[in-house]
Amino acid sequence: MIVIVSPHGEELLEIRSNVDRQQGRVDGVRSLEPFEPQLVSADDSQERKYDGQLNRYFDHIIESILHVQDVLIFGPGEAKGELKKRLEHAHFKGHIQSVETADKMTQPQIIAKVRSRFESPIEM
């Protein structure tokens, strides 16, 4: 969820990853299917597919925020750290205010957090 704050209000943009979770076996459980290894894609091809989907997802996010001045990145998972690295690698011209861990939030909670952060003067 991207919230862009401007003098005209907030603009919301939701970007879904559509990343397929990697298939895996449950630890300690063996398949009873004959020739099961031949039915499952090789781990490296699954990994390449996953990486490609993830790269497209992050590229879409970066394209959507290239024009903003300040960014606050927050969320429950590890993707926020990866986004920060990718923004730095993409030579993002804006300023990353902070990267914060936060629980899952509703859309109104996300907007309120962003609004409260950017309503006060930004420290330089």
Whole-angstrom distance, CA of residue 73 vs CA of residue 3? 11
DSSP secondary-structure letter at 73?
A: E
Per-residue model confidence (pLDDT) at position 122: 47
Whether 38 maps to a domain, the answer reads: no
Whole-angstrom distance, CA of residue 62 vs CA of residue 23? 27
What is this structure's pTM?
0.70
CA dihedral 71, 72, 76, 77 (to 10 degrees): 30
Per-residue model confidence (pLDDT) at position 58: 92
The string of pLDDT tens digits covering residues 18-54 is 776 655 554 555 556 665 555 555 567 778 888 888 8
Domain that holds residue 58: 2-15+44-119
- What is the pLDDT confidence band of residue 59, given thresholds at 50, 70 and 90? very high
Whether 23 maps to a domain, the answer reads: no
Q: Over range 8-17, report the average pLDDT.
A: 85
Angle at Cα 38 formed by Cα 23 and Cα 55, nearest 5°?
A: 40
Q: Give Cβ neighbours of residue 102 (< 8 Å, ≥ 6 apart).
A: 74, 75, 76, 113
**Structural domain tally of the chain?**
1
Whether 33 maps to a domain, the answer reads: no
Whether 21 maps to a domain, the answer reads: no
* Model confidence at 124: pLDDT above 50: no
Whether 91 maps to a domain, the answer reads: yes
As given in the structure block, the two tokens for residue 93 are 């011209």
The string of pLDDT tens digits covering residues 71-112 is 999 988 888 999 999 999 988 888 998 999 999 999 999 999
Q: Over range 44-66, report the average pLDDT.
A: 87
